[in-house]
Structure 1
């Protein structure tokens, strides 16, 4: 009897394991199924001693943090993990590993969806090296809510394009790039499958580019719908295009305010560095 019980427990444990290389599922827009709740464990936010690139804002009753990357002041890089090593899986580990002589970090966020090992499931370029090809496949989950898109750039020119637009019109490999989905705003219009205030709510983050070429990164401080996040980009930030990065696991590192979120293991990271 004991032997049968042990075998049953082992079988259950095996079922719970995330297969390596398989996309981590996210609730589909408007499915009515709540996303997995992750207890937030952000670090305290003391009064900043230096100016932060991030600010606390409110939109339609939702508390958000809005961070701005300016091409005149900042550079953007992607960072999956140490050279030759496994993914960081954490902004805390990234912060601890930054060398004292490395460029100063203005802020950093998770960079899009990933598999069970923390590796990107879509297009990903780091330091000009493509580590994952563009993913135009159909499938379940938020990543595959077409159109999805790519956030990419070289030097001070940053762009967001739908995956199909990227495939058709971008020939040169950028210095950095990350694919996620769905798009939140496309040519000034909301993604067609985003409802006004759908039942699926989670801590979420995204990125948009304004007319001046600045990148606006936004993370909610509590569970919000896709609709609220998308409208903030369209109506307040006036970004013609905006891309959803992730939900539930979304995290921000804001060194100026002493904030380093550690909600759950994450995948690739977007790091905004101060220019010399």
Structure 2
């Protein structure tokens, strides 16, 4: 909120509070009009993100609601190199419509997407059904995708078998945290692998729930958060160690590398 002092030469609006102060010491008994500063409340945009504690671990939980938000992916300015970080992306866009932004998908040393990636209806990278090392290839992995008709998370094989029309946006990552209401078969309840992780899942109302850990967390714990706390049957890990969030409403802008970026915007 800003406190705006009106200049003395400006005409005061009707109803302005005026205090008359006796200057004293003069035969004329002059008084001076002193205008009290006017306090105006600037409109505030509520954050779509809130604090959440699960099993004594702090998370930030951001909800994209199809009635209020749209989702798109972003990787690079047109014809340019990848943004590489949320801070670089924030420098090149108007924050007015941004609800929040997260890093969203596997990427290589060149910051470009590994696996399926669609931006503005254009497929820039093919679905990867192969094998390899690292979190991305901890099968099953999956795809977060959608458009004006809704958003979904599916395992890679389910996406390959059932999705025929190209979505407006899509990003492949891995591993899946929860598949059909079951935790990933390779996860321990609270395994030794710990990192600051972020993920996404879509609930039965079509809302996309993005969660980022505020401290290092195991695969099992973040998977149980989606399954047991949020009641989401299919959830996908988006990143480990490079997890980041930009929330303009609170001023939060995390550092770290990024490849594909998921942008959630206010519809109005």
1:200-215 alignment, distance < 5 Å: 200-215=193-208
Instruction: State how far apart, in whole Å, the 1-side matches of 2:241 and 2:133 are.
Output: 17
CA contact under 8 A between 1:187 and 1:240: conserved in structure 2?
Answer: yes
The residue number in structure 2 matching 1:123 is 116
The residue number in structure 2 matching 1:185 is 178
Structure number with the higher strand fraction is 2
Q: 1:251 aligns with which of 244, 247, 264?
A: 244
RMSD: 1.2
Length-normalised TM-score, structure 2: 0.83
1:266 aligns with 2:258: yes
SS of match in other structure, 1:256: coil
The residue number in structure 1 matching 2:163 is 170
Measured against aligned partners, the alpha-carbon deviations of 1:72-101 in whole angstroms (never above 9, x if no partner) come to: 00000000010000000111111110147x
Instruction: State how far apart, in whole Å, the 1-side matches of 2:225 and 2:44 are.
Output: 28
Q: How many residues align?
A: 226
Structure number with the higher helix fraction is 1
Q: 1:241 aligns with which of 219, 234, 244?
A: 234
Larger radius of gyration: 2
1:218-233 alignment, distance < 5 Å: 218-233=211-226
The Cα of 1:49 is off from its aligned counterpart by 4.2
1:58 aligns with 2:50: no
Length-normalised TM-score, structure 1: 0.80
Gaps of 5+ in 1: 1-47
Measured against aligned partners, the alpha-carbon deviations of 1:98-141 in whole angstroms (never above 9, x if no partner) come to: 147xx600001001110000001110000000000000001111
Q: 1:157 aligns with which of 150, 155, 170?
A: 150
Instruction: State how far apart, in whole Å, the 1-side matches of 2:104 and 2:53 are.
Output: 23
1:87 aligns with 2:76: no
Q: 2:107 aligns with which of 92, 95, 114?
A: 114
Instruction: State how far apart, in whole Å, the 2-side matches of 1:197 and 1:50 are.
Output: 37
SS of match in other structure, 1:93: helix
Instruction: State how far apart, in whole Å, the 2-side matches of 1:138 and 1:217 are.
Output: 27
The residue number in structure 2 matching 1:275 is 267
Q: 1:145 aligns with which of 138, 141, 145?
A: 138
Instruction: State how far apart, in whole Å, the 2-side matches of 1:200 and 1:260 are.
Output: 26
CA contact under 8 A between 1:151 and 1:179: conserved in structure 2?
Answer: yes
Structure 1 stretches of at least 4 aligned residues deviating more than 6 Å after TM superposition: none
